[in-house]
Amino acid sequence: MAVSKMQKLLILTDYQTRGELLKSVQEFQAFEPAAVEDMRYGDNTLSELTTQIQSLETELAQVAQAQTYLKAVTPKKIWSDRFHLTAQAFAKKMTEVRERDLLGQVLALQQKETLLQKQLADLDENIELANKWKTLSFLKKDRRALKATYAIIGTLPEDPNQEKLNQLLARDDFYVERLFQNDLEQGLVVYADRSAKHELKEFLDTLHFDQFDFPFGKLPAEQLEDFKIERSELLAEQKAGATKLKALSQDYADLMFLEEDLYNQKERLRAEQLLASGQELVGLSGWVREDDISHLKELLAETLPEGTYISLVDNTEVSEQEIPTQLVNHPLVEPFEALTEMYSLPKYSEVDPTPLLAPFYAVFFGMMAADVGYGLLLWFGTWYLLNKTKASKSARKNYKLFHILSYPTILWGLFFGSFFGVELPFHVLSTTTDVISILVLSVVFGLVQLLFGLAVNTQLQLKAKDYPSAISDGLGWIGLLVGVILLVLQNFTGQAVLGDIAKWLIILNVAMIILGTAVGSKNKLLGIGSGLYKLYGATSYIGDIASYTRLMALSVSGASIAASFNMVVGLLPPVARFTVGIPLIIALQMLNMGMSFLGAYVHAIRLQFVEFFGKFYEGGGHAFKPLKTYEKYTDLKTRKMEK
The alpha carbon dihedral of 441, 442, 448, 451 has a sign of negative
* Residue 143 one-letter amino acid: R
Residue 477 shares a structural domain with residue 602: yes
43-71 vs 102-132: helix axis angle to the nearest 10?
60
| Cα gap 120→116, rounded to integer Å | 6
| Cα gap 11→293, rounded to integer Å | 12
Collapsing DSSP to helix, strand or coil, 153 comes out as strand
Residue 303 shares a structural domain with residue 409: no
Q: Is residue 624 part of a domain?
A: no
The torsion defined by the Cα of 479, 483, 488 and 494, in degrees rounded to 10, comes to 140
Tell me how many helices (H) and strands (E) the chain has: 23, 15
CA neighbor of 518 nearest in space, from 529, 510, 507: 529
pLDDT at position 27: 92
Residue ending a domain, among 213, 246, 272, is: 213
Residue ending a domain, among 153, 185, 213, is: 213
Residue 313 shares a structural domain with residue 399: no
| Cα gap 545→443, rounded to integer Å | 6
Residue 471 DSSP symbol = I
| Cα gap 536→413, rounded to integer Å | 40
| Cα gap 224→582, rounded to integer Å | 59
Question: φ and ψ at 617, to 5 degrees?
Answer: -115, 140
Q: Is residue 424 part of a domain?
A: yes
| Other beta carbons less than 10 A from residue 439's beta carbon | 16
| Cα gap 394→64, rounded to integer Å | 22
Residue 459 shares a structural domain with residue 533: yes
| Cα gap 351→328, rounded to integer Å | 12
Asked if residue 310 lies in contact with residue 9, where contact means CB atoms within 8 angstroms, the answer is: yes
| b (16+ CB within 10 A) / e for 115-126 | eeeeebeeeeeb
Contacts of residue 17, defined as CB under 8 A and 6 or more positions apart, other chains included, come to: 304, 305, 308
Contacts of residue 403, defined as CB under 8 A and 6 or more positions apart, other chains included, come to: 378, 379, 382, 383, 386
Structural domain count of the chain = 3
pLDDT at position 219: 92
**Facing residues of 150 across strands?**
192
Q: Is residue 620 part of a domain?
A: no
Q: How far is C-alpha 225 from the chain's CA centre?
A: 54
Q: How far is C-alpha 428 from the chain's CA centre?
A: 41
Question: φ and ψ at 339, to 5 degrees?
Answer: -70, -45
Q: Is residue 231 part of a domain?
A: no
| Cα gap 69→580, rounded to integer Å | 41
| Cα gap 511→502, rounded to integer Å | 14
* DSSP percent split of the chain into helix, strand, coil, nearest 5: 65, 10, 20
Residue 468 shares a structural domain with residue 606: yes
| Cα gap 607→365, rounded to integer Å | 11
How far lies 64's CA from each of 57, 67, 70, 167, 320, in Å?
A: 10, 5, 10, 62, 40
Asked if residue 297 lies in contact with residue 48, where contact means CB atoms within 8 angstroms, the answer is: no
| Cα gap 122→136, rounded to integer Å | 21
Question: φ and ψ at 75, to 5 degrees?
Answer: -60, 145
pLDDT at position 42: 62
Q: Is residue 474 part of a domain?
A: yes
Residue 417 shares a structural domain with residue 562: yes
Residue 436 shares a structural domain with residue 569: yes
Residue 304 shares a structural domain with residue 445: no
Residue 419 shares a structural domain with residue 558: yes
| Other beta carbons less than 10 A from residue 371's beta carbon | 31
Ranges in the chain, pLDDT < 50: 642-643
Q: Is residue 186 part of a domain?
A: yes
Q: Is residue 553 part of a domain?
A: yes
Q: What is the CATH number of the domain that holds 199?
A: 3.30.70.2750
Contacts of residue 137, defined as CB under 8 A and 6 or more positions apart, other chains included, come to: 219
Residue 613 DSSP symbol = G
Residue 425 shares a structural domain with residue 450: yes
Question: φ and ψ at 153, to 5 degrees?
Answer: -105, 140
Residue 162 shares a structural domain with residue 82: no
Residue ending a domain, among 322, 357, 373, is: 322
Residue 445 shares a structural domain with residue 377: yes
Rg (CA), the chain: 40
pTM above 0.85, yes or no: no
| Cα gap 291→280, rounded to integer Å | 31
Query: For residue 12, what are the domain limits?
Result: 2-101+258-322
| Other beta carbons less than 10 A from residue 595's beta carbon | 15
Contacts of residue 435, defined as CB under 8 A and 6 or more positions apart, other chains included, come to: 552, 556
DSSP secondary structure string, 379-434? HHHHHHHHHHS---HHHHHHHHHHHHHHHHHHHHHHHHTEETTEEPS--SS-TTT-
| Cα gap 527→239, rounded to integer Å | 85
Dmax over CA atoms of the chain, in Å, equals 132
Asked if residue 286 lies in contact with residue 34, where contact means CB atoms within 8 angstroms, the answer is: yes
* Residue 257 one-letter amino acid: F
Q: Is residue 308 part of a domain?
A: yes
